[in-house]
């Protein structure tokens, strides 16, 4: 899958920006802030805070968004009116009470899920301060409130200043404290002209001076968007959730029609039923369990990402992550450690190792990349070359790397040294009438096939231009990556490694890491074209990126994860932002998305299955008098018709509460094939949904039968 585009120069290095693991303080902050994670669903403090929200959600305008629970609300109101008309009917009051509890429990599940985000939102609001900005004008600087800044304004920030708004650094470099956003106390570097130029309003400059171009309007900053998202204010139902809601609404209509038409037949048989009993029957037959938990499952899925410092811009993105079938991963920093290190100097025929080491060190004195520094260190330690300074060389012209030349080096007097990509250095030598030894190609191919990166070193002096040899740079694959890719393969996900390396190097790394395919010498256009090809085949694609040149591909991908260290363009294009800027987290995001879908499917299976048991509890109780033969269906041996119906209603309410922790935590996901996963869910949640009501209703019936007037 390689392209003909020139490879990225090997001594071009990815930026390093602080720790890449999850920010410990941040994740724990979610737990301690609201108790939902650390203390569990039954944490008293968390429940107390959620109850008022649950009661406010009884507003019919809110309840109507869930057709199933809206029917339960209407049934609760109806039985309440009937109970008020007959104050002495204990059965009517008991049914009414438990129908209201069913509605409240459903709202409580959603309120608890939303409560997790509110604690994080409070933390973000404390970080959002009113600042005074130093805006650059034609006459110098002017101090204005941060709320008056507009897109395109240039502001100055120095040590101790708070960044007044989201923007990109256009001048300077500074150390910035982003702990208010990421929870990570280690400062990060922000500088102009690269993929580390984005700064976020509310962060604090610790050193030096930078000029920032504002890229967002007041009220639309990154922190503002985070607050809305973690609070759930911007959450919209996903396509999968909408489809499931339509299914639940359809089932509700079917059972509503069944119950309505049941009464004429019951009257004809001389077994007419009260409106209270018919309401109880309807509530027990419709899928109230999943209807109550559906919203909480979606909110909890987004919250699990927030706990891992990933901000999902929509529930659609989380859901899409669960359906991803192609994963695009950058090689450098994701699959490999990223900092390629010089490991060996390999001279060509006619050159000595010492001569090559001397030239390689000389050409790297001005190279501040980790690769360049590693060449200087290797020359000193392995070949005994003394440490040299740029100043001691006298007048010298240092040649910086550019994407066009793909070389760097130095001109000292009549001596010229170049180091860079094999094709570029070879062309440079031939332009000067020099010679390229026959074994040059074999040496570079051997290093590439071994997974290394070859840097060719050449010199032009009194003897003309000539190649001296190759510097072998090693790019180490991260530990455990092969096992993680094997897990993804079992999940049915195809992995594609994206790299600017030549095809030989890319192939070697891909084989070592265990990815399914690779795209070598990749340009932004190549990435975008690959995503479109995959999507044209009906596949969902996920990728990570941090630069402006990644923005088109991030926008095209179904799941585009932008790094927080990246540019504003990248963060605007993606539908997720990783606050830790850890590219490998994309694999976790896919797992969380799959866990969300599996949790929703498992609880839907459980909900529909447990309705079956309620038939055996309520139907025999309703018609046993008119049709004594139906008593054979009373396989649970329930003590009386009233106890049977009430037990079913009580179980219907309590099972919601029992399943809330599972909805918030999520069903445990183990990478496996789709058919095995289906069998597992049917075995656990399908069979469990059938068995649990028989046991639960029987236990409740035994308890109710001990009460006077019920047995």
CATH, residue 205: 2.70.150.10
Triad 105, 108, 111: Cα angle to 5°: 160
Query: Can you give the pLDDT at residue 43?
Result: 60
Is residue 213 pLDDT above 50, yes or no?
A: yes
The pLDDT confidence band at residue 269, using thresholds 50, 70 and 90, is: confident
Q: What is the mean pLDDT of residues 91-106?
A: 93
How far apart (Å, rounded) are the C-alpha atoms in residues 290 and 295?
9
Query: Can you give the pLDDT at residue 120?
Result: 62
Helix (H) or strand (E) holding 168: strand 167-177
CA atoms within 13 A on the CB side of 360: 38
136 falls within a domain: no
Is residue 296 pLDDT above 90, yes or no?
A: no
Q: Which of 579, 608, 634 is the last residue of a domain?
A: 579
Share of the chain above pLDDT 90, in %: 17
Higher pLDDT, 249 or 474: 249
Instruction: Say if residue 419 carries a ligand binding annotation.
Output: yes
**Could you give the number of structural domains in the chain?**
4
Instruction: Say if residue 403 carries a ligand binding annotation.
Output: yes
Instruction: Say if residue 439 carries a ligand binding annotation.
Output: no
Instruction: Say if residue 367 carries a ligand binding annotation.
Output: yes
SS3 219: coil
Instruction: Say if residue 550 carries a ligand binding annotation.
Output: yes
377 falls within a domain: yes
> Rounded to the nearest 10 degrees, what angle do helices 275-285 and 585-623 cross at?
150
Instruction: Say if residue 640 carries a ligand binding annotation.
Output: no
Output phi, psi for 184, to 5 deg. -95, 125
Is residue 8 pLDDT above 90, yes or no?
A: no
Instruction: Say if residue 405 carries a ligand binding annotation.
Output: yes
Is residue 25 pLDDT above 50, yes or no?
A: no
Is residue 432 pLDDT above 90, yes or no?
A: no
Triad 542, 545, 550: Cα angle to 5°: 100
What is the SS3 assignment for 526-581? HHHHHHHHHHHCCCCEEEEECCHHHHHHHHHCCEEEEECCCCHHHHHHCCEEECCC
The pLDDT confidence band at residue 654, using thresholds 50, 70 and 90, is: very high
Report the CATH number that the domain containing residue 525 is assigned in CATH.
Answer: 3.40.50.1000
Share of the chain above pLDDT 70, in %: 84
SS3 221: coil
CA atoms within 13 A on the CB side of 475: 30
Q: What is the mean pLDDT of residues 219-232?
A: 68
Residues 360 and 465 in one domain: yes
Instruction: Say if residue 580 carries a ligand binding annotation.
Output: no
Is residue 7 pLDDT above 60, yes or no?
A: no
Higher pLDDT, 128 or 444: 444
Beta-carbon contacts of residue 356 (< 8 Å; ≥ 6 apart): 345, 346, 347, 457, 468, 469, 471
pLDDT tens-digit profile of 457-511? 999 987 789 999 999 988 777 878 888 888 888 878 899 998 877 787 788 888 8
Active-site positions read: 330
How far apart (Å, rounded) are the C-alpha atoms in residues 213 and 384?
48
Rounded to the nearest angstrom, the gap between the alpha carbon of residue 705 and the centroid of all alpha carbons in its chain is 51
526 falls within a domain: yes
Residues 350 and 202 in one domain: no
Kindly report the length of the chain: 711
Instruction: Say if residue 371 carries a ligand binding annotation.
Output: yes
Residues 484 and 573 in one domain: yes
What percent of the residues of the chain are helix, what percent strand, and what percent coil, each to the nearest 5? 50, 15, 30
The chain-wide mean pLDDT, for the chain, equals 80
Q: Which of 527, 552, 579 is the last residue of a domain?
A: 579
Report the CATH number that the domain containing residue 422 is assigned in CATH.
Answer: 3.40.1110.10
How far apart (Å, rounded) are the C-alpha atoms in residues 174 and 79?
67
Beta-carbon contacts of residue 73 (< 8 Å; ≥ 6 apart): 58, 60, 63, 103
Instruction: Say if residue 546 carries a ligand binding annotation.
Output: yes
The pLDDT confidence band at residue 30, using thresholds 50, 70 and 90, is: very low
Query: Can you give the pLDDT at residue 127?
Result: 57
User: Which residues are registered as beta bridge partners of 460?
Assistant: 416, 465
How far apart (Å, rounded) are the C-alpha atoms in residues 306 and 310?
5
Rounded to the nearest angstrom, the gap between the alpha carbon of residue 627 and the centroid of all alpha carbons in its chain is 57
Q: Which of 39, 229, 197 is nearest to 569 (CA)?
A: 197
Beta-carbon contacts of residue 193 (< 8 Å; ≥ 6 apart): none
User: Which residues are registered as beta bridge partners of 399?
Assistant: 409
Is residue 310 pLDDT above 80, yes or no?
A: yes
Instruction: Say if residue 158 carries a ligand binding annotation.
Output: no
224 falls within a domain: no
Residues 111 and 244 in one domain: yes
Residues 109 and 257 in one domain: yes
pTM passes above 0.85: no
**Structural domain of 536:** 310-335+479-579
Instruction: Say if residue 192 carries a ligand binding annotation.
Output: no
Residues 439 and 349 in one domain: yes
How far apart (Å, rounded) are the C-alpha atoms in residues 38 and 500?
43
Residues 378 and 467 in one domain: yes
Rounded to the nearest angstrom, the gap between the alpha carbon of residue 612 and the centroid of all alpha carbons in its chain is 37
22 falls within a domain: no
Residues 458 and 347 in one domain: yes
Residues 563 and 649 in one domain: no
Cβ atoms within 10 Å, residue 245: 19
Beta-carbon contacts of residue 526 (< 8 Å; ≥ 6 apart): 3, 5, 519
Query: Can you give the pLDDT at residue 235?
Result: 52
Instruction: Say if residue 636 carries a ligand binding annotation.
Output: no
Query: Can you give the pLDDT at residue 22?
Result: 35
How far apart (Å, rounded) are the C-alpha atoms in residues 203 and 158?
12
Lowest mean pLDDT among 107-116, 158-167, 548-557, 617-626: 617-626
Residues 65 and 167 in one domain: no
67 falls within a domain: yes
Residues 344 and 469 in one domain: yes
Higher pLDDT, 482 or 182: 482
Residues 363 and 463 in one domain: yes
78 falls within a domain: yes
Q: Which of 540, 555, 579 is the last residue of a domain?
A: 579
How far apart (Å, rounded) are the C-alpha atoms in residues 34 and 116?
6
Sheet with strand 310-312: strands edge to edge = 310-312, 576-578, 559-563, 541-545, 326-330, 494-498, 517-519
pLDDT tens-digit profile of 658-711? 998 888 888 887 777 667 777 888 888 888 888 898 899 889 988 888 877 665
2 falls within a domain: no
Is residue 34 pLDDT above 70, yes or no?
A: no
């Amino acid at each position: 899958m390689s392209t003909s585009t020139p490879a990225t120069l090997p001594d071009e290095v990815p930026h390093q920006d602080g720790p890449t693991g999850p920010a410990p303080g941040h994740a724990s902050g979610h737990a301690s802030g609201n108790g939902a994670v650390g203390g569990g669903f039954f944490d008293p403090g968390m429940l107390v805070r959620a109850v008022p929200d649950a009661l406010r959600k009884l507003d019919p305008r809110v309840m109507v968004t869930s057709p199933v629970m809206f029917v339960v609300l209407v049934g609760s109101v109806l039985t309440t009116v009937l109970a008020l008309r007959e104050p002495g009917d204990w059965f009517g009051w008991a049914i009414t009470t438990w129908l209201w509890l069913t509605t409240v429990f459903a709202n409580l599940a959603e309120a608890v899920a939303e409560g997790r985000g509110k604690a994080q939102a409070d933390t973000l609001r404390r970080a959002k301060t009113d600042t005074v900005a130093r805006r650059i004008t034609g006459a110098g600087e002017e101090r204005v409130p941060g709320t008056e800044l507009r897109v395109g304004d240039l502001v100055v920030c120095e040590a101790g200043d708070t960044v007044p708004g989201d923007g990109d650094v256009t001048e300077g470099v500074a150390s910035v404290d982003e702990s208010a956003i990421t929870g990570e106390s280690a400062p990060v570097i922000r500088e102009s002209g690269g993929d580390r130029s984005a700064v976020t309003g509310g962060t604090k400059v610790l050193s030096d001076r930078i000029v920032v171009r504002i890229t967002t309007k007041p009220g639309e900053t990154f922190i503002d968007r985070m607050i809305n998202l973690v609070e759930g204010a911007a959450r919209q139902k996903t396509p999968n959730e909408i489809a499931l809601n339509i299914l639940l609404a359809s089932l509700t209509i079917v059972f509503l029609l069944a119950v309505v038409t049941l009464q004429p037949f019951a009257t004809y048989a001389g077994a007419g039923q009260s409106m209270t009993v018919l309401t109880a029957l309807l509530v027990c037959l419709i899928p109230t369990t999943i209807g109550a938990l559906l919203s909480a499952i979606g909110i909890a899925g987004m919250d699990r990402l927030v706990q891992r410092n990933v901000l999902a811009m929509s529930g659609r993105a989380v859901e899409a992550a669960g359906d991803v079938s192609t994963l695009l991963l950058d090689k450098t920093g994701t699959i490999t450690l990223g900092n390629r290190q010089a490991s060996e100097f390999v001279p060509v025929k006619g050159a000595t190792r010492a001569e090559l080491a001397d030239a390689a060190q000389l050409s790297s004195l001005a190279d501040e990349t980790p690769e360049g520094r590693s060449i200087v260190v290797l020359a000193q330690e392995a070949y005994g070359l003394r440490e040299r300074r740029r100043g001691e060389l006298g007048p010298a012209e240092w040649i910086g790397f550019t994407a066009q030349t793909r070389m760097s080096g130095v001109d000292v007097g009549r001596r010229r040294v170049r180091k860079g990509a094999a094709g570029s250095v070879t062309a440079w030598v031939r332009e000067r009438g020099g010679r390229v030894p026959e074994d040059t190609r074999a040496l570079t191919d051997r290093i590439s096939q071994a997974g290394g990166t070859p840097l060719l070193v050449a010199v032009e002096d009194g003897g003309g231009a000539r190649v001296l040899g190759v510097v072998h740079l090693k790019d180490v694959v991260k530990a455990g990556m092969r096992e993680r890719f094997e897990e993804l393969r079992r999940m049915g996900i195809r992995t594609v490694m994206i790299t600017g390396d030549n095809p030989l190097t890319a192939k070697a790394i891909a084989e070592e890491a265990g990815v399914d395919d690779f795209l070598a010498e990749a340009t932004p256009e190549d990435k975008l074209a690959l995503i479109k090809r995959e999507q044209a085949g009906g596949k969902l694609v996920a990728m990570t990126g941090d630069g402006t040149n990644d923005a088109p591909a991030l926008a095209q991908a179904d799941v585009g994860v932008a790094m927080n260290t990246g540019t504003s363009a990248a963060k605007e294009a993606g539908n997720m932002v990783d606050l830790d800027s850890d590219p490998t987290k994309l694999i976790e995001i896919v797992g969380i998305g799959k866990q969300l879908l599996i949790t929703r499917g498992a609880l839907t299976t459980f909900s529909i299955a447990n309705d079956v048991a309620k038939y055996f509890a309520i139907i025999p109780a309703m018609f046993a008098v008119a049709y004594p033969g139906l008593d054979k269906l009373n396989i649970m041996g329930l003590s009386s018709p009233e106890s049977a119906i009430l037990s079913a209603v009580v179980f219907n309410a309590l099972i919601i509460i029992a399943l809330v922790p599972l909805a918030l935590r999520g069903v445990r996901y183990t990478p496996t094939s789709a058919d095995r996963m289906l069998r597992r869910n049917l075995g656990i949640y399908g069979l469990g949904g059938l068995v649990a009501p028989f046991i639960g209703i029987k236990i409740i019936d035994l308890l109710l039968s001990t009460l006077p007037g019920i047995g």
